[in-house]
Each structure stands twice: as structure tokens, then as C-alpha cells.
């Protein structure tokens, strides 16, 4: 029995990756929940918008790299993120102007907007593939690790190593900053409050003189920022591939619903709930258990609850359990 090594192994293979993944999902789910709360539909084009934001960031990253501009130990992509956000903002605002606004003026039902977003999804899907192709792209540069496994072992003299990648560290720090900024905006600024008011009671907000156009514009801007950051962090952590981003739709929706659609805090908690369950259920626990259990009880199998290919199943199971026992989600969203 060796609890210290067990904890290190657990951190290395479960906690650190899940925290990073959870932060990425939380940012994505925040975007979904904002659109659901304020524009009142679930945006099926979310994953592809995320891909587009990442794509623009990658293009700027390459351009900076070709000019010899880098951030040293940090990934150059961080420098390119503002440009990615700007590009995505232009895209979503143009889409809103050309596509969505028409339906809002017709007072279209939310389901109509959902179907419209499917059309937008197809268009974005084609757009990202036309621009950068469907293949995997790796755009992380700079120092790979904050601590690598060997250094950790030498430092602590433990058998197990703990590796924290730069991208994981950046993910967590960026996510915390972005979320803090978002909450400050929503709860402390006049525009932020007007967005909450619009989401709460549209008629009363309009009668109070809140401009729907402005609320919608600002919502899309925030969503563009959140989603680009989420996409770039995910891409740095893993890699960029349009199809993977499209598939992130399911865990992101699951996170938003588990937390309670329309609730920003719920989206964050939901993101981590989904991420931790996904990693924990698809992780082979053999190593951790070997350290943690007395010799006699050590498992002989891999102790992997589900193969990693079933990670979507995990988000889905969590979702079902929450919906059955708490249909409004963990944080009383707007579901019922």
C-alpha cells in the first residue's frame, strides 16, 4: 500500500486531464447556455463555430510564427486568440444579421431557430473544411511541460511521476480569468444586467427601454469570445480537427443541461461533472488501485469501467440520471 504514489498517479491520469477538459467544456457550455437563455434556442452550430474560431487563431499563429514572433515558453496561439475572437465575432454577427435577425423579426418560434442553426452548422462545416481542410492540425508550440514526469520523480523521489503540460496550466488559468470576467460583466455592468433582464422577462425588458438588438449583438460577441477561447484551449491541449469539434457538441450540451440550461454557474459545474465522469469512467484504474489497496486485494484486470470509445455514453448517462432526478438541472435552469 502506498497512498502517496496512488494520489500522484490519480492526479496525473485523472485529476489534471479532467480539470483541463472540464474547463474547456465549461467555456463551451457557457456559450450554449447564454444563447439558450437570451436568444432562446439551442445552437447546433456551436461546435462548428468553435472550430472556426480555432481555425482563425491557427492561421494567425502561423502568420506570427512565419514572422518570427513567438511567446517564448508560451504557445504563440495565445497571442493570436484576440484575432481569432475578432474573426469569429465578425462571422457570427454577419450570420445574425443575414440569417437569424429575419426570424426574430418574424417572431419565429425557438424551434424554427434551432432548424435554422442546423443550416448554419452545415455552412460553417463546409467553410472550415474549405479553408483548412478536414485534417488534424497541431499548433501548440513553446515549452511542452510545466513539470514533466521525470523531473517530478527526481524531485520527490516517488515512483510515480506527475506531468502537467503547459497547455493544461494555461487552460485552467485562462478559463478562470474568462469566467471571472464574464460574471463580473453579467452581474456588475449595466449591459450585463440588461442581458439578464432580457433573458428573464423579454416584454418587461423592452418596456424598460432595453434594446433587443444590442442585447443580441453583445450576446453573440460574448459567445464568440467564449467559444474561440474554448476551441483554442482544446486544440492546444489535444489537436484541431473539425469533426472532433463538431462532436464536442454532445458533451457541451450535456454539460449545459446537467448544470441547468440558462444558468451560467450550472454550465461551469456541468462542464466539470461531465469531464470528471468521462475521464474517471474510461480510465484504467489498475495502477492507482495497486498503490492504494493492500497486496491481497490488488486487481488483476485493468479495472477500466468502459473503453475510451464510450466516452460519449458517459456524458449521456450522467445527463439521463440528472434529468430523471432533477429535470431542471443541478442549478435550476430554465428547463421547466
Rounded-to-integer distance, Cα 185 and Cα 230, Å:
18
Q: How far is the CB of 322 from another protein (least distance, A)?
A: 10
By CB under 8 A, name the one of 81, 179, 210, 225 that touches another protein. Answer: 210
What's the burial of 108, exposed, middle or buried (CB within 10 Å: 0-12/13-18/19+)? middle
Residues binding another protein: what is the number (CB under 8 A)? 85
The interface region with another protein, picked from 22-30, 49-57, 150-158, 322-330 by CB under 8 A, is: 322-330
Identify which of 201, 177, 221, 204 has the alpha carbon closest to the alpha carbon of residue 34. 221
Residue number, 103 or 145, with CB nearest to another protein: 103
C-alpha cell at 62: 502561423
The interface region with another protein, picked from 14-22, 126-134, 152-160, 226-234 by CB under 8 A, is: 126-134
Q: Does 315 bind another protein (CB under 8 A)?
A: yes
Q: Please give the angle made by the CA atoms of 263, 330 and 323, to the nearest 5 degrees.
A: 110
Asked if residue 236 lies in contact with residue 164, where contact means CB atoms within 8 angstroms, the answer is no
The interface region with another protein, picked from 4-12, 102-110, 157-165, 287-295 by CB under 8 A, is: 102-110
Q: Which positions from 39 through 78 interact with another protein, judged by CB under 8 A?
A: 40-42, 44
Helices 166-188 and 212-237: crossing angle in degrees, nearest 10, is 170
Q: Does 320 bind another protein (CB under 8 A)?
A: yes
Q: Does 217 bind another protein (CB under 8 A)?
A: no
Q: Which positions from 166 through 185 interact with another protein, judged by CB under 8 A?
A: none
Distance of CA 171 to the CA centre of its chain: 10
Q: Does 186 bind another protein (CB under 8 A)?
A: no
Residue number, 4 or 320, with CB nearest to another protein: 320
Tell me the three state secondary structure of residue 284: strand
The interface region with another protein, picked from 17-25, 160-168, 247-255, 287-295 by CB under 8 A, is: 247-255
Cα dist from 322 to 32, 41, 59, 265, 310, whole Å: 18, 21, 40, 16, 19
Cell numbers 484551449 correspond to what residue? 233
Q: Which positions from 261 through 290 interact with another protein, judged by CB under 8 A?
A: 261-262
Amino acid at each position: 500500500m502506498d497512498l502517496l504514489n496512488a494520489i500522484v498517479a490519480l492526479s496525473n491520469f485523472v485529476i489534471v486531464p479532467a480539470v483541463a477538459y472540464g474547463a474547456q467544456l465549461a467555456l463551451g457550455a457557457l456559450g450554449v447556455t447564454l444563447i439558450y437563455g437570451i436568444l432562446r434556442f439551442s445552437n447546433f452550430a456551436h461546435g462548428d463555430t468553435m472550430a472556426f474560431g480555432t481555425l482563425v487563431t491557427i492561421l494567425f499563429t502561423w502568420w506570427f510564427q512565419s514572422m518570427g514572433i513567438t511567446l517564448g515558453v508560451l504557445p504563440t496561439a495565445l497571442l493570436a486568440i484576440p484575432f481569432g475572437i475578432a474573426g469569429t465575432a465578425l462571422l457570427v454577427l454577419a450570420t445574425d444579421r443575414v440569417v437569424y435577425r429575419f426570424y426574430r423579426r418574424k417572431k419565429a418560434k425557438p424551434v424554427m431557430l434551432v432548424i435554422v442553426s442546423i443550416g448554419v452548422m452545415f455552412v460553417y462545416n463546409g467553410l472550415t473544411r474549405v479553408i483548412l481542410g478536414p485534417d488534424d492540425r497541431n499548433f501548440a508550440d513553446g515549452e511542452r511541460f510545466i513539470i514533466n514526469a521525470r523531473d517530478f520523480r527526481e524531485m520527490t523521489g516517488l515512483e510515480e511521476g506527475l506531468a502537467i503540460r503547459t497547455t493544461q496550466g494555461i487552460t485552467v488559468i485562462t478559463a478562470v480569468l474568462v469566467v471571472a470576467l464574464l460574471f463580473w460583466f453579467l452581474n456588475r455592468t449595466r449591459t450585463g444586467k440588461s442581458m439578464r433582464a432580457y433573458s428573464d422577462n423579454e416584454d418587461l425588458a423592452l418596456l424598460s427601454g432595453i434594446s433587443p438588438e444590442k442585447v443580441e449583438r453583445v450576446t453573440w460577441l460574448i459567445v464568440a469570445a467564449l467559444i474561440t477561447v474554448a476551441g483554442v484551449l482544446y486544440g492546444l491541449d489535444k489537436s484541431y480537427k473539425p469533426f472532433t469539434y463538431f462532436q464536442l457538441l454532445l458533451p457541451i450540451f450535456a454539460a449545459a443541461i446537467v448544470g441547468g440550461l440558462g444558468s451560467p454557474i450550472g454550465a461551469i459545474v456541468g462542464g466539470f461533472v461531465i469531464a470528471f465522469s468521462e475521464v474517471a469512467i474510461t480510465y484504467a484504474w489498475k495502477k492507482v488501485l495497486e498503490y492504494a489497496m493492500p497486496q491481497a486485494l490488488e486487481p488483476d484486470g485493468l479495472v477500466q469501467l468502459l473503453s475510451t470509445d464510450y466516452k460519449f455514453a458517459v456524458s449521456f448517462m450522467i445527463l439521463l440520471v440528472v434529468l430523471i432526478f432533477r429535470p431542471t438541472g443541478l442549478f435550476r435552469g430554465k428547463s421547466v
